[in-house]
Amino acid sequence: MSDEANKKHYIAIISDTHDLVRPGLMEALEGAELIIHAGDVCSEIVLDEIETVAPVIAVRGNMDGYHSDLPITETREILNKRFHILHDLKGFNRSLMRDLDIVISGHTHNPRVFEENGVLFINPGSAGPRRGTLPVCMLKLYIEGNDVSWEQVFVG
């Protein structure tokens, strides 16, 4: 195996920024090779700012409006893992699970990570405005070879 295959890769997972880029978020994004935004971006300015750190894959959330050029879902192979990204997990087609390793969603502002039938489901919570007592956070996803680990980071 090459050194690249054994390298620990950092992918930043964020959602629900709602037009707000906190300084704590920008700090947490540093070092990311890729940023995945699970919707409710609400402004191209947010994407422009976070793209100064790393390339961004973003999907459309319910607050992004139908005029948004962002796709509703995105499926990509990243570091030999098959990712499916959407805003609201309620819209997830479970028949896709057999072909996926990781499903990323947002919408609820409530961070949650769980595994179901070998698929890792990630909701990073909201990195934007605080909603009630829910934390303002994002998730750092690490991929090293076949190993996947994660860390929740509070950004506000």
Distance CA 148, CA 107 (A): 23
pTM: 0.95
Query: By the 8 A CB rule, do 18 and 150 touch?
Result: no
Distance CA 31, CA 3 (A): 18
All structural domains of the chain: 9-154 (3.60.21.10)
The closest alpha carbon to 36, from 112, 128, 138, 144, belongs to 138
- One pLDDT digit (tens) per residue for the chain, 156 residues: 345 667 999 999 999 999 999 999 999 999 999 999 999 999 999 999 999 999 999 999 999 987 789 999 999 999 999 999 999 999 999 999 999 999 999 999 999 999 999 999 999 999 999 999 999 999 999 999 999 999 999 998
